[in-house]
Amino acid sequence: MKVLVAGAGIGGLCLAQGLVRAGIDVRVFEREPGPDSRYQGFRIGLDEPGLAALRECLPHRLHGLLEAVTGPLAGERRVVDQQLNEVRRLGAASGGTAADRHVLRQLLLAGLGDRVEFGRAVAGYQQRADGRVEARLTDGGSAVGDLLVGADGVGSAVRRQLLPGAEVTALPGNALLGRTPLTEPLSGLVPGAGTLVRGADLSLLIGRMEFRRPPRLAAAELAPEVELPDAHSYLRWVAMLPEPLSPEPGAWAEVRDRLLELFDGWHPDLVELVRRSDVGNSSPLTIRYAEPVPHWGTGPVTLLGDAIHAMPPSAGQGANTAFRDAALLCRSLTAVHRGEAELAAAVEEYELRMLERGFAAVAEGLARLAEFTPAR
Ligand SMILES: Cc1cc2nc3c(=O)[nH]c(=O)nc-3n(C[C@H](O)[C@H](O)[C@H](O)COP(=O)(O)OP(=O)(O)OC[C@H]3O[C@@H](n4cnc5c(N)ncnc54)[C@H](O)[C@@H]3O)c2cc1C
């Protein structure tokens, strides 16, 4: 069996790791020219099921490194006002793990070698008379496999062809994603699992990414064949504004200065958080989510992660569900590989469970969105 994957994001790579582990032939096509070619790093919170799915796909020899380069995500999530007075508690997070997307992605590339082809975007596909599928690449190339998995994120080219009526909605307003080095004075901003600052015209969601060990050093010691970035602990924050900044600013330095005007009179530590934001790792963010779709007739093309059920970050589940999709699909395909199941039936079973779980998480994220939007 040969599996083609569109997209080397964290979901597609997790699937590829699991398939390689099961002895299944896989090729991954990634649009970006390389793993570092655009800003890739923000903190994601993983829950126990998400982490278990990731571990299930990763080879055992990398489990120690995964533990070393993630961080704790525990304690109270609190809501504060713009002077940092506590307003409310949202409950404690238990058993969570904070991971940096860029570090995770580099870890997930370990050992995949030339199975991952960077700079090769999937344009579409064609079902063949023999039941197989041919993926068409924008560079004019193509590849034939038994299954094509669209793991190509929220703008998925595979989904556009498979489900032309599927809709993705962009949230109105504006979100800005910032990253600020974790320093002693700023660490008090997030004493627990997360802090939400609710201002009248702007709200700020702050999370902490504190690596247990510096990723590059941990890799050198625990798995020297893996190259991890020289990343340092940071605070990740998302500022939600009711309207886009107008006129639209250009570079982050300009965005930051405009944002600072809105922080006039706020607690000095919050002003400092924005002022010290890292120019290379902060950017405006469009929040999009997928409208639910019914199950389609199963064929040699399927979808995974944000490509099918993109959700707002308020769900805290996008990466978790992408990993769970990957592990579930991997289990189904392993059964086919072992001769214990038929491909079409195995993929259909995956799709039904993936759709139910994925769109339940989208709905939950939308229901929680109001908590994160500015008070006025
Ligand atoms: C600010 C923020 C905070 C978040 N916090 C959390 C959190 O706390 N917990 C959580 O679980 N989730 C969180 N998420 C969501 C999570 O990051 C995503 O759901 C997850 O990255 C989705 O993974 P994916 O592999 O499906 O898609 P992606 O990671 O988007 O990967 C898709 C890949 O496909 C490639 N691609 C696109 N088009 C093509 C093409 N035509 N051909 C080939 N390749 C293509 C892209 O370049 C990309 O590499 C957060 C997201 C944001 C923005």
Atom of ligand 1 nearest to the CA of 123: 41
| Residues 89 and 217 grouped into a single domain | yes
CATH number of 319's domain: 3.50.50.60
Which residues does a 6 A CB cutoff place in the pocket of ligand 1? Answer: 6-12, 29-32, 42, 44-45, 101, 121-122, 151-153, 155, 157, 177, 238, 285, 305-307, 313, 316-320, 322
Q: Distance, CA 132 to ligand 1 centroid (Å)?
A: 27
Gap between the Cα atoms of 341 and 337, Å rounded:
8
CB 149 within 8 A of CB 329: yes
| Residues 161 and 187 grouped into a single domain | no
Task: Classify residue 36 by its DSSP letter.
Answer: T
Last residue of a domain, one of 286, 320, 352: 286
| Residues 212 and 149 grouped into a single domain | no
Across 47-173, the runs of DSSP E, i.e. the strands, are: 71-80, 86-100, 116-118, 122-127, 133-137, 142-145, 147-150, 168-170
How many structural domains does the chain have?
A: 2
Atom of ligand 1 nearest to the CA of 285: 53
Q: Determine, yes or no, domain membership for 139.
A: yes
**Span 135-174, pLDDT tens digits:** 999 999 999 999 999 999 999 999 999 999 999 999 877 8
| Residues 80 and 202 grouped into a single domain | yes
Extract the tokens encoding 271: 């002003």
Residue 60, classified by CB atoms within 10 Å of its CB into exposed (0-12), middle (13-18) or buried (19+), is exposed
Q: Distance, CA 29 to ligand 1 centroid (Å)?
A: 15
Beta carbons within 10 angstroms of residue 230's beta carbon? 8
Determine which residue's CA is closest to atom 49 belonging to ligand 1.
Answer: 9
Residue 218: which domain range?
72-100+172-286
Q: Distance, CA 308 to ligand 1 centroid (Å)?
A: 11
**Span 165-224, pLDDT tens digits:** 999 999 877 889 999 999 999 999 999 889 999 988 889 999 999 999 999 999 999 999
Beta carbons within 10 angstroms of residue 182's beta carbon? 18
Task: Return the best residue to mutate from 120, 152, 238 for the ligand 1 pocket (most ligand atoms within 8 A of CB).
Answer: 152
Q: Distance, CA 82 to ligand 1 centroid (Å)?
A: 31
Low-confidence ranges of the chain (pLDDT < 50): none
Residue 39 confidence (pLDDT) = 60
CB 236 within 8 A of CB 273: no
Residue 40 confidence (pLDDT) = 60
Hey, what amino acid is at 236?
R
Determine which residue's CA is closest to atom 29 belonging to ligand 1.
Answer: 9
For the chain, counts of helices (H) and of strands (E) = 12, 18
Cis before 247? omega within 30: yes
| Residues 176 and 136 grouped into a single domain | no
| Residues 210 and 343 grouped into a single domain | no
Residue 336 confidence (pLDDT) = 98
Q: Determine, yes or no, domain membership for 31.
A: yes
Atom of ligand 1 nearest to the CA of 12: 25
| Alpha-carbon dihedral 148, 39, 288, 127, rounded to 10 degrees | -10
